[in-house]
Amino acid sequence: MRTAFYISDGTAITSEVFGHATLSMFPVEFTHNTIPFVETVEKAEEIKTLIDSTYTLSGEKPLVFFTFVNPELSDIILSSQGVCYDFLSYASEIVKRELKVAPVPKMHRTHSIHESSYDFRIDAVNYALANDDGANIKDYDSADIILVGVSRSGKTPTSLYLALQYGIKAANYPMTEDDLESGNFPKCLLPHKHKIFGLTIDPERLSAIRQGRMANSKYASIRQCRIEVREVEMIFKKHKTPYLNSTRYSVEEISAKIIAETGLKRHKY
């Protein structure tokens, strides 16, 4: 099994994202090692030794994705026995030629408390937590979006991801049996219909998830799941509410599809 390192003088999120995206295209198994905050020569030398020892033990050169502001640290990693990718410097050179402006590197610029989106994201996370699972319906005026669906269809993780990654205030509301039997959205949601986005899920997948929570219950039975999914989708169609089947998508993909369809503003950077 090959080894991959993601190294940075900051959080290493950028290295990780780029590296994982690149390696995902290849049908090869990797052991992943993320090493953030390599901010000194001593630490860089320590990581170089780790890369070299990995090569010695395995006989295969590790793949190393890194970002550094300090070129001295970059040079140390580049002198290792790894196959190194300094993709940020490569991209910066291309942009520099186009803009005719020299880059001004600054440590921790991308993922720090000083980034312009930080307050948006923290406020949105607090909002998502306070408005999870229909707990606080009086604050829906402040919502950017309200995710609606049956229990365990992916509303909570999606709400939190939208908040943490994009600063979007996402409330979520679970459609209960009473709501579904009425064939309508509950009264608390009707004034906010323009903010509602539905999540649905294949009944078989829903049953499997619920079995892990309440095994052998009516709540988890395939019959109950089929009824709930059918009824909630009928309500979405009745109100012309946009909705997405979450069964085969990750929370990242669900969030991206919601933003693409609704046009919600991202507070990412």
Query: Does residue 167 come out as left (phi exceeding 0), alpha (psi in the -120 to 50 range) or beta?
Result: left
d(CA 244, CA 246): 6
Backbone region of residue 134 per phi and psi (left: phi > 0; alpha: psi in -120 to 50; beta: other values): left
CA 53-56-61 angle, 5° bins = 90
Q: Other C-beta atoms within 10 Å of 28: how many?
A: 10
> First CA to last CA across the chain, in angstroms?
36
- Using pLDDT thresholds of 50, 70 and 90, give the confidence band for residue 115: low
Residue 200 dihedral angles phi and psi, to the nearest 5°:
-125, 180
The answer, yes or no, to whether residue 25 has pLDDT greater than 70, is: yes
> CA-to-CA distance for 188 and 87, rounded, in angstroms?
50
Q: Residue 20 and residue 200: Cα distance in Å, rounded?
A: 29
In this predicted model, which residue has the larger pLDDT, 16 or 105? 16
pLDDT in tens, 60-104: 999 999 999 888 999 999 999 999 998 877 777 788 888 888 876
What is the pairing mode between strands 145-149 and 63-67?
Answer: unpaired
**Strand, coil or helix: 197:** strand
CB-based contacts of 17, cutoff 8 Å, min separation 6 = none
CB atoms within 10 A of CB 126: 12
- The answer to whether the beta carbons of residues 56 and 10 sit under 8 Å apart is no
When comparing pLDDT for 194 and 120, which is higher?
A: 194
Kind and range of the H or E run holding 26: none
- Return d(Cα 97, Cα 135) in angstroms, integer: 53
Tell me: pLDDT of 111 over 80. no
pLDDT of 78: 96
What pLDDT, in 10s, does the model give residues 228-268?
A: 999 999 999 999 999 999 999 999 999 999 999 999 998 87
Cα separation, 61 vs 139, whole angstroms = 54
Amino acid at 163: A
Report the pLDDT value the prediction gives residue 110, as an integer from 0 to 100: 53
Query: Burial, 138: exposed, middle or buried (Cβ in 10 Å; 0-12, 13-18, 19+)?
Result: exposed
At 61 the pLDDT is 97
What average pLDDT does the structure give for the chain?
Answer: 92
Give 264's contacts (C-beta < 8 A, 6+ positions apart).
Answer: 144, 145, 162, 166, 168, 258
Residues in the chain: 269
Name the one residue in this structure whose structure tokens are 């408005």.
131
